[in-house]
Amino acid sequence: GQNIDQPTEMTATEGAIVQINCTYQTSGFNGLFWYQQHAGEAPTFLSYNVLDGLEEKGRFSSFLSRSKGYSYLLLKELQMKDSASYLCAVMDSNYQLIWGAGTKLIIKP
Amino acid sequence: ETGVTQTPRHLVMGMTNKKSLKCEQHLGHNAMYWYKQSAKKPLELMFVYNFKEQTENNSVPSRFSPECPNSSHLFLHLHTLQPEDSALYLCASSQAVEGPYNEQFFGPGTRLTVL
């Protein structure tokens, strides 16, 4: 079967760095997405990786290793507004998104 | 604002009621999706429409009935629901169904409670 694993919850301190990991087993691979979802709001797109390596976008970076079935989202200089759930999703060979359950990130002052 | 709107934002209904959820996208996309989001569970894809034609029905019970009159509008008709159907229902759209880098844009969702 297809499976996406990510931690349920993480806590970090304002101004610090946090890494949210995602491992996957899917039928084929057409890219990996990270979305941010604040409570009661729509998920919003953060990043897309289809080749191995690191993609940097401001305070957020996303890394992919296809051989290991592994990705992480790195958030730097954490702000209170970064408190949200972070969803990892993999596009399989049928271009269907397979979703993880999300990681709830709690930022403390 | 993601360019995808959903109404109502909150809905409480009894098991014998009939109601409809509405989604509209203002992005010129050709594909639209319905997802169910339950607490601490992955997003569950329910239905996919591509150019108004349904292309996916992921074993969804018949008490959920989708309708897509055009590429900009999507409905989810609900009848004789069960309490376990209580969840956040998310609508999304994308430029196409197939192809890499097919970013999906989500609406804010309808929080449904079935009593």
Q: How many CB pairs under 8 A join A and B?
A: 52
CB B79 within 8 A of CB B18: yes
* Mean pLDDT calculated for residue range B40-52: 90
| Contact residues on chain B for A3, CB-CB shorter than 8 A | none
User: Å from B109 to nearest chain A CA?
Assistant: 7
Q: Tell me the per-residue pLDDT of B13-28, one tens digit each, with 9 for 90 and over.
A: 998 889 999 999 999 9
> By the CB < 8 Å criterion, does B106 face chain A?
yes
* b/e code A7-28 from CB counts within 10 Å (16+ = b): eeebebeeeeebebebbbebee
Out of B4, B97, B100, closest to residue A31 by CB: B100
pLDDT at site A9: 97
Give CA–CA dist A16/A14, Å, rounded: 6
Which residues, given as ranges, of chain A have pLDDT below 70? Answer: none
| Contact residues on chain A for B56, CB-CB shorter than 8 A | 96
Please check the confidence at residue B57 and state whether its pLDDT lies above 90. no
Band (B109; pLDDT cuts 50, 70, 90): very high
Q: Tell me the per-residue pLDDT of A64-76, one tens digit each, with 9 for 90 and over.
A: 999 999 999 999 9
Average pLDDT, whole number, for chain B?
Answer: 92
User: Å from B45 to nearest chain A CA?
Assistant: 8
